[in-house]
Structures are given as structure tokens and as C-alpha cells.
Structure 1
Amino acid sequence: MVVFSALNAHAENMTTVIVDLSYQNLYSVPRDLPPSTEALDISHNRIKRLTYDDFSAVPALRFLNASWNVLKEISSDAFRATSQLEYLDLSHNKLQNLLGQHYLLLTPKLQFLDLTFNCFSAMTLGDVFRSLTYLQNLALSAEAVKTKDFRSIANIQLQTVFLQLQNLTTYENGSLRHVRSEKVGIVVTNRATDRALIADALSTFNQVELAGINCSQNYLVEYLRLKPIIKATHLHLTNMEMSWDQATDLIDVGIESSVEHISVYIMTLVGDITWHDITQTSQLQSFSIKHVIVTAAISTSPDVLYSFFINMKVENLTVTNTEFVYMNCPRYLSNIKMMDFSKNLLTNSVFSFKGLECKNLKALETLILRGNRLENLKELSHRVQYMTSLQHLDVSFNLLMYKEEFGDCQWPLDIVHLNLSSNSLDRSVFNCLPISTETLDLQNNQIDSLPDFLLRLNALTMLDLSSNQLLDLPNCHFFRNLEVLLLSDNSLYTPTMSIVGSCPRLKAVDVSKNPFMCTCALRGFVGLQERYPIKLLHWPHFYRCSYPDSWRDTLLKDFHLPDVSCNAGILAAAILCPAVVIAIITLALCKQLDVPWYLGMIWQWTRAKQRARNQENLEGLQFHAFVSYSQHDADWVKNKLLPSLEEDRTLRVCQHERNFVPGKTIVENIVRCVETSYRCIFVLSSHFVRSEWCHYELYFAQHQRLSRGSDSVILILLEPLPQYLIPSKFNQLKAMMARRTYLEWPQDSNKHKLFWAHLRAALQAPLPPQPNHSLNP
């Protein structure tokens, strides 16, 4: 089956049509390809031959991957219709004789060509390669390499040439001198042929990558000692297996050579690890080692391994993807400017010297500790406080936390860029930040709001709070120079406009991917970009209504409500004028039809029913209310609800933590509390509807309501709780919220007294006196 997809190209209005036919068990190229196809993947099939008819219908083809087939023949006119071809991968096939690749004459714009893992016995490139003047990347493999093999590309300047020579049997000295390329990558044989091959590579190319060197290979060390004839400034070593002594000798020799940059990817250390003093004189500018596998035995202390790397005389040091749990501080004043220790197992004890804070990294400007196991932000600040030149600090993807009781943080004075994303930080982190910070990344943490008082970050220009739990836009009272604020993927239902007045320099805001409640309160925010010089990033496609259902998935730019629905004056006039007319007509009709007499009768009946209700049986009740809530809302219940209801000691409230009877099951305790309480108060929130025990308490209270009356249940709404957020198992709660009025916890503190007065009034009842032992029967 043909699979199509569109990818964004360089221009916004352009797309690349990709046809993926890989792993289809094909024996030939299908003839029904779309004419607009620009990229075709026919890899991992059983195709033996390519002809003109295979591609005659796709003149726009630029990318062709035909690797992992069984190609033995490609006709000379195969690409006559695809003169725009730029990328061609023919690796892992059965092509023979590099001299006979005549189809390349019809690919003048080819930039990438991979012919590795075919059946070429000799590396000799035919004259057809002279036509590939745009070629930038060339990958080849053969069993024999001779001095004349690359003459046909001597005038072509390449970026990279890759030679898969794992099966090399013959190599003539000087064979690479006709290759003009900035970088060469070679998979070595670990045989005698490597000696001349490595020598040619190091003396011909600026960047040399060698893959597959093992313990028996010492030619590289020998040749690095020959400084005058080495041209290479960048040495990349991939998939090495060496003993500790061989590895340290190699690094020492590399440091002393003219090589300026050494990078190692996948190194397996075997044998014993012993103390080794690093060379103190060096021309090396950067050293990088990624993915170290230590099978060696450390004969003395782990400090041997850590000290070797931290004491290297380089400006840029990278040690990533290892199992290092610690890193020493340098013994002497270090000139390292950039240090990357990402994706290790480092903990809070990193960077100490004999138990003291590290003072030997004063030149360090950039420190990356991404993806480790750091936990305490305050302790981290103390670890880096003497890195006086530090400007860029990345400690994302750790386990960092900060609580105000931890104490003050001590940061270097010049940190400009700080990345604290993907940790476990809450709002208190704003009291543990370097005041010099200009860009601060706090995305993917647990921040629900900004504290009322925090450090003044007058230098801050960019703040990223994406993927947190914010309920509203923060103001800029403590960072007045903020220019960019990122708040995507939070819990902003109806963001307010207070940000406009408090952020005078704000230029761009990202509030995309939030669950917007499209009501009158949101109208001001929708017009933000039109009325103020603030750009909404990712507008309008990532701004959609989540609630109410009638506006769900509607773009905010298409959300409109009439003025009469949102303007109190207009709405009052629209209601009062007809209401006055109707009232006059109603009064006239009432007098004419004796309505006052009927109303009097209804009033008498209502009073009779009220008197009957007041005689309800209160025998056996011990509490005025039983409180049901989620543990996540326990602070509000304990610190606000209970003190406000029990302050005058006239109301008795049942709470599970103090009134559940030990020894009884949770269900038995719930039933007892519901049956012995005059009212049941349910504290509703997003946490409540995720609690299984809250569901049981609501279920029993619902049955009790049927016998005692609808007023036995009181609903308190702590936060907006749209119907679509309530699970289906809470269908009784949905019905109750739809039929009856619930109390909403006001955010305005001036309304709290009225809230408590209404709640206490609803709970008043002359319960029987309670003996001292009645709490636990």
C-alpha cells in the first residue's frame, strides 16, 4: 500500500510528497506512483533491477532510498526522467564493479551517494563520477584500495567521505591523497592495513573519524606522535574497545599532538583502572566522550576515573551517557570554560574537593548537568557558588526540589541563562533564583501560582512556565523588564488582563494549548493582540475552547458573544423594560381574576408543609455535618472549613481522620458517619472526582437523601468543575449539580464571611445532646 504524507519545506506554502514503500516484499518498483512524488523509499524489498520505466512517471523525484534490496543491475537510462535527483542510497545491495555505474551520468545534481555494502572488490571510481560536481557526501566500500582509485573525483570538493573498510585486504600508501574532503570517516579492520590507512587519513583531512578500533590497535598512537605531518585538527573515535592504559596513552598523545578536538563515542574500557596523571601541557581545545561502558576493575578508588577527566587541560569538556555517580573538583585552578555532564547519575555531592566547595572552576562559563539525579536546589546553588564566571546553567530533567525551610540559596553573581525545566519544583522556587538571570526555563514543573513575595528579577527578559499548573496569568511586579512569557499547556480557563498593566515591556506571550472556558470573561483576552502591542505566539490554531460544550474545539478567534449577553447595563435594560410591561399587565389580570385569593391559599398550604418539615425526626443524629473530601484538599478543610464551622462550638462536624472507629472497615465507618449526620458536605474539585472513596461516600449519601430529603446534601465547589471533567461513574453527582444550587468558594476574601454565614445557617438543627462517649460508640 502506498502511504502519502506532507512535510513542510523551506517555504511555508510548499510541501514534499513522500511515498513510503519499504518492507512491502516488492520485486519491482510499482508503476502507479503519484507524478508529484519527490521522495521515494523502496528499501528492504527484493528488487533486483532498476530501469527507466520505474521512474519515468516521477520527474520531480529528489530523494530515493533503494537500500537493502538485491540490486544487481541499474540500467544506464534509469534516471533519465529524474534529473532533479539529489539523494541516492544504494547501500546493502549486490552491485558489482564501481567502473560500470553509468546511470550516474544522468544525475548531475546528486549531493548524497551511498554505495557501501555492495560487492565491489576494487575501489576504482569510473569516469562517470567526474560529472557529479554537486556531490557533497560520498560513502563507499571495497576490498582493495589503490592510489589511482580516486583520481576521477580529484576536482570535486566534498564535505564528507565515508569508507566502510571492515573487509579491506589491500591498501596502497597515499591512496587518499586525491580525495578532497573536509571530513573522512573510516571503519577500520584492526589489521596491518590500518597502519598506512590511518597515516593517510590524519595527514590528508581536517576531520578524521575512526570506528571499530580495539585493544590490539596501536597504530593510531604511533602516528599521533608524528606532529609535523598531521593535518587533522578534529579526531572522532567511535565504538572503541581499549584497556585503561591504552585509552589514557591515546588521550595523552592526542593532547600533545596538533589535534585540537577529540571526541569519543561508545568506549568500552577493559582491564584494570589505575591512577594516571594527565598531561599538563596541551593544545587541545575540546574533549568529548559519550557512552562509556566500564567493564574494567577499579583497583584503587573511583576518584581515579573522575579525576582523570576533570583535570584535563581543555576549554570544553563533555562526559555524557555514563554511569558516573560523582565528579571531583579539579585539584588545581582549571581553564575549562564549557562542561557538559548530561545523562549521567550525578547526585547532590557533585563538585567537591576534600569535603569543601569547589573553588577551582572560576573560568567555567557554561555548565550542563541535564538528566542526572540532583535533588536539592539549595545545595546545588552552594556547589556552584564559587564558579564566578558561570553564565549558562542547565539542570533540566533532574529531581530538583526547593522548600523555603531549606534556607537561602547562594548563586554566582553572573548567571544569565538558567534551565530548571522538568524537575519537581513548586512556587517556592521563585525565592531561590539568581537575580542576574535573563532567561529562565521552568517548564514542566509543579508551579500553580507565583508567591505574593519573591526575589526581584529585574534582569529577567524571558520566562518559560509551560506545562505547569497555573490557573491565571502571573503579573510582572517582580520582573518589570519581562519581554517574553511562555505559558502553554497550563490550566488557564479564563486568563485575566492584569498582565497588560504589570508588564510594560512585554512583547510576546504564548498561552496556547490551555483549556479555555469560552464565556464573557474571556472576551477581553481574545482581543488582547488587537488592542495592545503584544504578540500571541501560535495564534490562532492552538487556541481553542474546551468549555462549554457548545463552543468545544472552536478557535478563540471565532468565539463571539453578543454585547447584550455580557454587558450588565444592556442586559438589565433588555430584561427590565419588558418585565415592567409584563408586571403591569399581570397586576391588572390578577385583580380581574381573583389571583390574590389563590395566592393566599397557596401561602397557607406552604406554611403548613413547612411546619410539618420542622417536626422531622432528629433522634439518633450525632453530628450536624459529615465532610467528604479528597486528601489533596485536606489543607483547605482543616485550615478553613473546620475552624469556621466549629469556632462557636454550636456545630458538630464529623471528619474521618478523627471520627472513624478503629477496627471497623472504611465502608462501615462511612455508612455510620452518613447515617448519624444531619447534613453531608461534599467538597468538590478535580481531585474529588478521581477519588474512589469519595465515590463511595457520595453513593451512601445519595441513598440517605432519599429518606431524609433533598436538603441533606450540600455541595461546595472549590474550583471550576465542568461536566466533561466528571467521570461517568459520578452520574449521580452530575444530576445533582444540574438540578440544585451549589456553594462556590469565592476567590475574593471579602466574600468569605457571607459564604460561612450561609453554610452555618444551612447546618443549624436542634440535635439531641451528645454524651462525651458518643463520638465512638
Structure 2
Amino acid sequence: MTVTLRDVHCNTMANPRPSIIRIFHFVHIFMLILGSGIPYSLENEFVGNYSNSFLSHVPRLLSSKTTVLDLSLNNITGLQIKDFKSLPKLRVLKLSHNEIQYLDISVFKFNQNLEYLDLSHNKLWKISCHPLMNLTYLDLSFNEFEALPICEEFANMSQLDFLGLSATRIQKSDLLPICHLNLSHILLDLQRFHEKKEKLESLPVLSTKILQIIFPPNRAFSVQLDMSVNNVRELGLTNINLDDDKCSIFIDFLSKVMNNLRFLNLTLHNVEITWKCFVGILQFLWHKPLEYLFIYNLTLVEKINEEPFIYYETSLKGLKIELLTNKVYLFLQTYLYQIFSEMNIKMLTMSDTALLYMLCPSKPSPFQYLDFTNNLFTDNIFQGCRNLSLLQTLILQKNKLKHLSNIVHMTETMMSLKHLDLSQNSISYNADNSNCHWAESLLVLNLSSNELTDSVFRCLPPSITVLDLHRNKIRSIPKEMSSLETLQELNIAFNSLSDLPGCDTFSSLSRLVIRYNSVSRPSAHFFNSCQNIKSLHAGDNPFLCTCELREFSKNMATLSKRVVSGWPSSYKCAFPDSYKGTQLKDFHLSPLSCNLVLLIITISITGLVLMIVTIFLCIHFDLPWYLRMIFQWTQTRRRTRNISIDKLERTFQFHAFISYSELDSGWVKYELLPKLEDEDIRICLHERNFVPGKSIVENIINCIEKSHKSIFILSPNFIQSEWCHYELYFAHHKLFHEGSDNLILILLEPISQYTIPAKYHKLKALMAQRTYLEWPTEKSKQVLFWANIRAAFNMKLALVEEDNDTEIR
């Protein structure tokens, strides 16, 4: 790309009129934002980008629709008609940085729509011309032309706006074809220029808004041109090397070029100069019709002495010096500072100059804008200075400032100060220091990238409207801070805040940036108190996605994208791990899991329904009876399996002895006995197993002793039988003394406790424990009843044969 001064007006110290340079710079950028080497459509343009593709010739088979073609940074040595004949719609062609030596412009005779042609940085030494009536941009600079490559056909190029030229010599006749054209921008590359020793020839007057001249680098300035220009608004000069002897030559050159000009912007780039010459040039320009002077990459050499300077009334509004290198190491600092501090202009910028200090003006100064970015200023700057009462903007970015209280004291006398930039220093604030009297006019304060903590909120200008505190060490905003009722914009990104600040102390807040903090659980108080918010950027925080975040996410989603910056891509869950990386818009939890009252109501209703269902089942299906029977079956099976067979290998002759009332014998004989004996269970009955001749009591005891189990059929008839009572007594006595579980109680019919006589206290106790089996009248329940009976017997039990004397024949 052509090395020019097209960017020198992108300054922050002033608002000069829009530069035509920027327009052409934009065109260059547009040309460079191309994709691969394959043509593609960009809006209404069909673009082919072959830049830096190691080409030695123009590619073949280009699309006839191509309107923009970039062939820069290749090894193309020549051009032919056939290269572009098939491109009738071609409008923009870049051929810079190639190896082209000769150009016949007639190769573009079939490209009548061509408007932009860049042939800079080649090896051109000769061209043959052909009229291109629609050409608006032609750059032939940085080539090897002996004379200016201006053809007579250029005189008819009325659309031409930019013209870049290079030559080793300039003659009057070379410029005649274009002297009548009203160009916007002329670039003269004179890096290979040879000075004339004969008398200077007066060159024709050119008309252009921007004149840019690049002189030979690393060579003392000696170019002598009798050049006059009309309508110039911006003059850019590059590579100026001056000692005290050559200083007058340069001033003479400026005098001729600036003659009869009004309101000029002058840019000097790559200047190596003595201090004496520098002051002399400033003095020369001070009474010229100059509005803005920009100096980039200034180097001071030889020596710095005190130089007189008369501050005439001047049209100069602003001076900008960026990147100052001082190669003079022994000098009195005052000589340097005083020249600048006493200037009677409105705007002064001295950035990247390594200045240690700046003097306070000796009298009331007209300075309204001061920019001292990237210097070495300390807290002592402008302390007690009362002559900057008109100053509105002060930029002290990237210096060595440390104590906020000293800076506050500095601003007290700046009665008009509105904008103060203290970013990228090492400023801290001690809350114990009571000095916090800012300039009352201060509206914009930038304290970003410092060492400030929460205490800074106790020392802020009360009238502030814009506050930038990003990249500090702030953890919270104190509740006892002073109210900032006029604050409209707050940038507190890249700190350690854990919540969004409410607007109780920022009643006018409309823009908040709090990204990259530690906000995990933002409270709803922010939305309740900040009704005037128009822009919010709270993304890139470690959000904890729980129930508390649902309300915040809902509020963010309802706000328009114009209000919430970065939504939804910058708003993601960081915790818990199951939601990590999920965007807040996709994070959902059920209302039931997040509403305690609703959860309690739901559980209560569910429990109530279950209870009603349970009661219904119990009533309709007699569920408690089934549960009790199953429990008893389980317990019986467990006890039966836990009794060792060895313990049972005694003299049992029967599995069970049955005791019942004669009134219940029908059920025993026709229901119980058939079921048990079908299972090979041997039963002892008094009717067939009592031994004749023995007493009833003796027979009862004998049968109980010879039986492993004792089954009692309980009914109202049972409690009326005296013998049944004896049998139960002896069986229970065996249970108590031997520790065996040999009782099986079957409740044939319900028995009320109050109907059981007091003498049957053992029966009452057993009935109270509900250790009996109930005989169900429903057929469906009888299966479970018989299963419980069978489970009570150990079928592996080996029984002895009955004695002959006990058998009943």
C-alpha cells in the first residue's frame, strides 16, 4: 500500500473539517476486505481477489461480471489488451506492488467503466497514454519515472479526483496538462528527486484541496520548487531533515506553497530537526493562515537552548505533536516546556513525547483542550495552577499519576473543566483523606485501568454525567456513598462486583456496562429501581443458574435488543456444571421447583389424594386385612426357616393339635382338616387320639406334648368351653417355658373383648396382640389364609410313629 499521510487527520484534539483523504482511505480499505482468490459477489459488486497470490501474469478466464479486481502484491511484469478485454464491467483495478516496467494505457480501451486504477509501487519508467474518460482515481506514485508521467490526454480526464505521481525532476511543461483540473488530492512522490543547480523555474499553479509531498528520506532537505497551489485545504509533507543551515530553505518552500492560501491544515511527518529550527518554523507559521498543525514522529537533535518566541495573534487553533524523540540529553527543561505552556491557542496535544512535566501558563491561558497521553507526568502536574480557567478537556492517559486526592486538588482551580481522562495510570484513593472538592463543572470522568477500590465512590464529582471505572479493583458500591443524581452513563466492567447496582443513588442512570465482573445472582432490585435504563451490558459474568436467576433472565428477555447489549450470546450459565455454557434464554426451571408455597400446596394436595385413595382401598378392598395377613405369613416363614431341624428332631408324633368347640366341629372337619391333610400335615384330634382310660386333662397335656404346633379355633363358642380353656392354658404354658412359637390362633368368628371372661386373661392378651389368623368368608381371601397356615409348618420335620396304646381304632 502507498505510504502516505492520509491518516494524519484522525486526531482527537479538535474537529477539523472532514478530510477528503479519509474518503480515499476508505476506498483502499474497501479494496482490501476481499476474500479468497475466487471472484465472489459483494452486495452489487462482483469481486475478484488475487492479491499476494504469486502471480506472474493476469489470470485467464476471469468472469465477465467482474467489477472489482485486486492483483496487488504479485510478480506481474507486463499487461496486455487481452488481459482485460473480457471485463467490460471492470470499475476498480489494483495493480500496486508488482514488477511492471512499461504501461500502455490502451490496454484498458475496452474497460470504459474503469474508475479506479492503482499502479503504485511498481518499476514503471515509461507510459503510453490513452484517454480514460471515467477515471477518478489514478495512482502512479512510487515508481521510477524520470519526468512526471503526465500525458496530454490527462487534460480531458475531467472526472479525475486523485492523482499520484513520482519523478526525479519536475519541469513546468510536465504540469501544464493538469493545471486546469480541479483535483481533490495530488500525491507527489519525490523520494528520488534531484535538485536543480540552475535557476528555479516557476511551476504552473495547481488546483487541489489536498497536496501531499514525500521528500527523499535520510537526506538533508534541499528541494527547491517554485510551486503555488490554489484552494489547498490540507498540505502534507513527509521526510523533513533540517539543520540550522537548511532551515531557511524549508521556510522559503513553505512560503511559496502557502502564498495566498487561507485556513490551511498542515501535516509534517518524519521530521528530524534542531530545536532552533523547530522554534523558527513555529514562529513563521504563527502568523500564517493556519488552523491546525500536526507533527508526527518528531526528532530533536544537536542542542536545546532558550529561544525567543513572540506569540502574535494567530489563526492557529490546534497543535498536535505525536511521538517525540529527544536526542538532546543535557538541557534545561524549562526551555522546552515554556514554549508550549505559553501558547495562545485553544488546543494542544503532546502524546508519546516522554515529557516529565508541563509548566503552568504564566498568565490566563486560552487553552480549552490539553492532551498529554503517554508521558511521564506525576501528581505534581498543574498543582495550584490558576491560569487554566478556560480549560474544558484534559487528557492525562498513560502517565505516572498515583494519588486521586492530588488530582482532585489540581482540578479545583479549573473552573470550566468538563472532561477529565485519567485512565491507565496507577491511581488509588485513601478514604481517610477528606480532600474531595472537584471542579464543579466536571461532567465526564475516566478513571479506568487504575488501582481504585470501593472507596472511590466516596470521592466523585457530584455533577458527573459519564463515569468510566472499568478495570479497577472494585468489589461493591458502598451504600453510604454520596448520591450521583446526574450520572447517566456508568462503565464498571472488569471489576469484582457480585451484583448489579441499584439506581437509588443513580436516579438518572440510562447506560450501564458491568460485563466481566462476579455477578452470579443478580437481584431484581436493579429492574425495580432503574426505570430509565436505555442500555445495559451485563454479559460475560459467572451466572449461577438457579431459581433466583429466572426472574433476571425473564426481565432481560423482555427488554429489546437495543437496550440489552450482547444478548443472548454473552449471557451464559457458569454454575452448576449441568447448565454450564447454556445461554440464559435457554435456561428453564419448572415453576413448581422454584415456588415454595406452590410446592407445599402440591405436596399437600397429593398427600391428601393418596390418603383418600388409601382409605377408599382399605374400605372397599379390606386392604388392612391383606396387609396383616401378608405380614403374618412373612413373619411365620421367617420363624419357620430360622428353627433348626436338629431342634425339632424330638418325639413329636403330630404336626399340630387342634382345639375347638364342638359347636365349630363342622368347619374343622369339612374345611380345615381336608386342607391340612392334603398337604401331608398330621393332625391330633381329641376325638381320635385321646387315650381311653386317661383323664381329659391328662389326654390334653399328652396331645400337646406330642404335637409340634397347637391350633386353636377361636369363636364365641370357644370361650364358652371349659375344656378349650384348659387346652389353651397348657399350650400357652409350653410356649412360655420352652420358648417355642407353637401357637396358631384362628379367629373363626369375631369376638369382642368385653365378652371374654376375666379368667381368660391369657386369651385376652393374645387377642390384644392380634397374633391370630382371621377366617375370611370371601372366597378371594381364603387363598391367602391357607397360605399362612401352610407357612407355619416345617414340612421337613420327621415324626415318630404313634404308640399302639394311644391309637384309637
**TM value normalised by structure 1:** 0.67
Q: Residues of 2 paired with 1:364 and 1:374: CA distance? A: 20
- Aligned position for 1:221: 251
Q: Residues of 2 paired with 1:60 and 1:395: CA distance? A: 53
2:572 maps to which of 532, 540, 544: 544
Partner of 2:295, secondary structure, is: strand
| Distance apart, 1:33 and its partner CA | 6.8
Q: Residues of 2 paired with 1:270 and 1:320: CA distance? A: 19
Q: Contact 1:210/1:237 (CA < 8 Å) preserved in 2? A: yes
1:330 is the counterpart of 2:361: yes
Q: Residues of 2 paired with 1:279 and 1:379: CA distance? A: 34
Q: Residues of 2 paired with 1:391 and 1:206: CA distance? A: 31
Structure of larger gyration radius: 2
Q: Contact 2:408/2:435 (CA < 8 Å) preserved in 1? A: no
1:388 is the counterpart of 2:415: yes
Q: How many residues align?
A: 581
Q: Residues of 1 paired with 2:322 and 2:574: CA distance? A: 45
Q: Residues of 2 paired with 1:6 and 1:138: CA distance? A: 28
- Aligned position for 2:323: 291
1:459 is the counterpart of 2:486: yes
CA deviations over 1:330-349 (Å, ceiling 9, x no partner): 12221111111111121212
The residue type paired with residue 95 of structure 1 is L
1:206 is the counterpart of 2:233: yes
After superposing the two structures, state which structure 1 stretch, 433-442 or 560-569, moved more. 560-569
Q: Residues of 2 paired with 1:121 and 1:345: CA distance? A: 48
2:144 maps to which of 97, 114, 119: 119
Flag the 1:329–1:72 CA change in 2: closer, same or farther, 3 A. same
- Aligned position for 2:386: 359
The residue type paired with residue 182 of structure 2 is Q
- Aligned position for 2:555: 528
Flag the 1:336–1:51 CA change in 2: closer, same or farther, 3 A. same
| Distance apart, 1:232 and its partner CA | 6.0
Q: Residues of 2 paired with 1:16 and 1:549: CA distance? A: 48
After superposing the two structures, state which structure 1 stretch, 505-514 or 382-391, moved more. 505-514
1:94 is the counterpart of 2:123: yes
Flag the 1:332–1:124 CA change in 2: closer, same or farther, 3 A. same
1:265 is the counterpart of 2:296: yes
Q: Contact 1:151/1:178 (CA < 8 Å) preserved in 2? A: no
Q: Contact 2:369/2:392 (CA < 8 Å) preserved in 1? A: yes
Flag the 1:467–1:154 CA change in 2: closer, same or farther, 3 A. farther
The RMSD of aligned alpha carbons is: 3.7
Q: Contact 1:169/1:193 (CA < 8 Å) preserved in 2? A: no
1:26 is the counterpart of 2:55: yes
1:161 maps to which of 186, 202, 206: 186
Flag the 1:490–1:20 CA change in 2: closer, same or farther, 3 A. farther
Q: How does 1:220-259 map to 2 (within 5 A)?
A: 220-222=250-252, 229-231=260-262, 233-259=264-290
Q: Residues of 2 paired with 1:86 and 1:15: CA distance? A: 16
Flag the 1:27–1:182 CA change in 2: closer, same or farther, 3 A. closer
Flag the 1:570–1:319 CA change in 2: closer, same or farther, 3 A. same
| Distance apart, 1:176 and its partner CA | 5.3
Q: Residues of 2 paired with 1:470 and 1:52: CA distance? A: 67
2:333 maps to which of 302, 305, 319: 302
Q: Contact 1:91/1:115 (CA < 8 Å) preserved in 2? A: yes
Q: Residues of 1 paired with 2:91 and 2:436: CA distance? A: 56
Flag the 1:20–1:338 CA change in 2: closer, same or farther, 3 A. same
Q: Residues of 2 paired with 1:477 and 1:39: CA distance? A: 57
| Unaligned residue ranges in structure 2 (runs of 5+) | 1-31, 37-41, 618-622, 639-809
Q: Contact 1:6/1:15 (CA < 8 Å) preserved in 2? A: no
The residue type paired with residue 290 of structure 1 is E
| Distance apart, 1:141 and its partner CA | 0.7
Flag the 1:193–1:344 CA change in 2: closer, same or farther, 3 A. closer
CA deviations over 1:362-417 (Å, ceiling 9, x no partner): 11111111122212111111122211111111111222222212432231110111
Partner of 2:296, secondary structure, is: strand
Flag the 1:173–1:387 CA change in 2: closer, same or farther, 3 A. farther
1:49 maps to which of 62, 78, 84: 78
| Distance apart, 1:260 and its partner CA | 3.0
1:143 is the counterpart of 2:175: no
Q: Residues of 1 paired with 2:223 and 2:513: CA distance? A: 54
Q: Contact 2:146/2:168 (CA < 8 Å) preserved in 1? A: yes
The residue type paired with residue 396 of structure 1 is S
Q: Contact 1:518/1:545 (CA < 8 Å) preserved in 2? A: yes
- Aligned position for 1:429: 456
- Aligned position for 2:506: 479
Q: Residues of 2 paired with 1:382 and 1:154: CA distance? A: 59
- Aligned position for 2:595: 567
Q: Contact 2:503/2:530 (CA < 8 Å) preserved in 1? A: yes
1:556 is the counterpart of 2:588: no
Q: Residues of 2 paired with 1:38 and 1:577: CA distance? A: 74
CA deviations over 1:310-360 (Å, ceiling 9, x no partner): 1112111111111112112112221111111111121212224xxxx1111
| Distance apart, 1:465 and its partner CA | 1.5
Flag the 1:4–1:167 CA change in 2: closer, same or farther, 3 A. closer
Q: Residues of 2 paired with 1:575 and 1:58: CA distance? A: 78
Q: Residues of 1 paired with 2:337 and 2:44: CA distance? A: 50
| Distance apart, 1:467 and its partner CA | 2.4
Could you say which structure has the greater relative contact order, defined with CA pairs below 8 angstroms and 6 or more residues apart?
Answer: 2
| Distance apart, 1:273 and its partner CA | 0.9
| Distance apart, 1:22 and its partner CA | 4.3
Q: Contact 1:5/1:17 (CA < 8 Å) preserved in 2? A: no
Q: Contact 1:51/1:74 (CA < 8 Å) preserved in 2? A: no
- Aligned position for 1:636: none
Identity of aligned residues (%): 31
| Unaligned residue ranges in structure 1 (runs of 5+) | 8-12, 602-777
| Distance apart, 1:556 and its partner CA | 3.2
Q: Contact 1:4/1:19 (CA < 8 Å) preserved in 2? A: no
Partner of 2:448, secondary structure, is: coil
Partner of 2:284, secondary structure, is: helix
Q: Residues of 2 paired with 1:84 and 1:592: CA distance? A: 104
Partner of 1:179, secondary structure, is: strand
CA deviations over 1:573-592 (Å, ceiling 9, x no partner): 55554455667869969766
**TM value normalised by structure 2:** 0.64
Q: How does 1:595-674 map to 2 (within 5 A)?
A: none
Flag the 1:313–1:573 CA change in 2: closer, same or farther, 3 A. same
1:496 maps to which of 511, 514, 523: 523
Partner of 2:164, secondary structure, is: strand
Flag the 1:521–1:305 CA change in 2: closer, same or farther, 3 A. same
The residue type paired with residue 221 of structure 1 is I
- Aligned position for 1:679: none
Q: Contact 2:379/2:403 (CA < 8 Å) preserved in 1? A: yes
1:313 is the counterpart of 2:338: no
Q: Residues of 1 paired with 2:72 and 2:352: CA distance? A: 32
Partner of 2:432, secondary structure, is: helix
The residue type paired with residue 347 of structure 2 is N
The residue type paired with residue 250 of structure 2 is L
Q: Residues of 2 paired with 1:543 and 1:486: CA distance? A: 13
- Aligned position for 1:732: none
1:181 is the counterpart of 2:195: no
| Distance apart, 1:521 and its partner CA | 2.4
- Aligned position for 1:614: none
Flag the 1:541–1:47 CA change in 2: closer, same or farther, 3 A. same
The residue type paired with residue 27 of structure 1 is S
